[in-house]
Amino acid sequence: MSDFNNYNNYNNDSSNYSSYVDNYDDSFNNGSQSGFGMGETTSYYFQSLVDTSAVIKKAFGLMVLALVITAIGAFITPPETAIAMMSGGSYFILILAELGLVFVSNYAIRNNNVILAGILYAAYSFVTGMTFSVLALVYTGSSITSVFLITSATFAIMCIYGYTTNADLSSIGNICIMGLLGLIIATVVNMVFLHSTGISLVLSYVGVLLFVGLTAYDVQKIKNMSETVGEDNENALALYGAFQLYLDFINLFLKLLRILGKRRR
């Protein structure tokens, strides 16, 4: 994240920007849920065998690349642009655009169109970064960095567990997906009708648990899918896995930031 001291003329009270951050946090739940449906349909298109570790390495490499693109988007985008994107009707356009990128990318992956899927993946990552620029107006730079490191450590632990465990995580994954649907509904109800900060915080704790579980589940799912993927589809599966893991990481980061982030006074 870049230094946004030049934008202090907005207002020193970070509460003015909190609603934008909270709304964007909520929109990610919808995007991630759309992504989770890709595994069951995509696996149908993958046949024969490739090196499992190669797919996993590519998936993580592409995920890190997406995080770099997100950071660049956040660095070069003025916060006022992000606020405009998340205000009024523009906010719903933003959600629809992101969901559209996820669905079209899903379609491209299923048809093994890696180039199109990669472009859409990069676009999604960059748009995410553009809206992330507003986080620096709400949270201190040190707390953003700290939460990012905490997220990275938690994410890495769950990835290692998902990759190495012999336990079948399918039931846990299904429970987490159903829980995520409930979380989305509860979040929308709170955002539209209740406007409760306390409920929002509780939902953030629930979200952390769900995305911790989903991270391990997704890694195991990618690993299992790679055992039946053909060489012609290896890159498509790696890209699919990267998108899944990227969504898990971003959601986990936002939930933890809402819980642990130190807001500017």
- The helix (run of H) or strand (run of E) holding residue 114 is helix 114-132
Q: What angle do CA 12, 70, 147 make, to 5 degrees?
A: 60
Q: How many CA atoms lie within 13 A of 263 on its CB side?
A: 14
> What residues contact residue 155 under an 8 Å CB cut-off, 6+ apart?
215, 248, 249, 252
The conformational region for residue 50 under phi > 0 = left, psi -120 to 50 = alpha, else beta, is beta
Q: How confident is the model at residue 207 (pLDDT cuts 50, 70, 90)?
A: very high
Name 93's bridge partners: none
Q: What's this model's pTM, rounded to 2 decimal places?
A: 0.82
pLDDT of residue 228: 80
pLDDT of residue 29: 55
Nearest Cα to 147, choosing from 159, 132, 160? Answer: 132
> What residues contact residue 81 under an 8 Å CB cut-off, 6+ apart?
130, 133
Flag whether pLDDT at 10 surpasses 70. no
Percent of residues in the chain assigned helix, strand, coil, to nearest 5: 85, 0, 15
Lowest-pLDDT choice from 5-9, 103-107, 159-163 = 5-9
Nearest Cα to 78, choosing from 160, 7, 147? Answer: 7
Q: What is the pLDDT of residues 216-227, one digit of tens each?
A: 999 999 999 988
> What residues contact residue 260 under an 8 Å CB cut-off, 6+ apart?
143, 146, 147, 150
Averaged over 156-160, what is the pLDDT? 98
Q: CB burial class (10 A; 0-12, 13-18, 19+) of residue 206?
A: middle
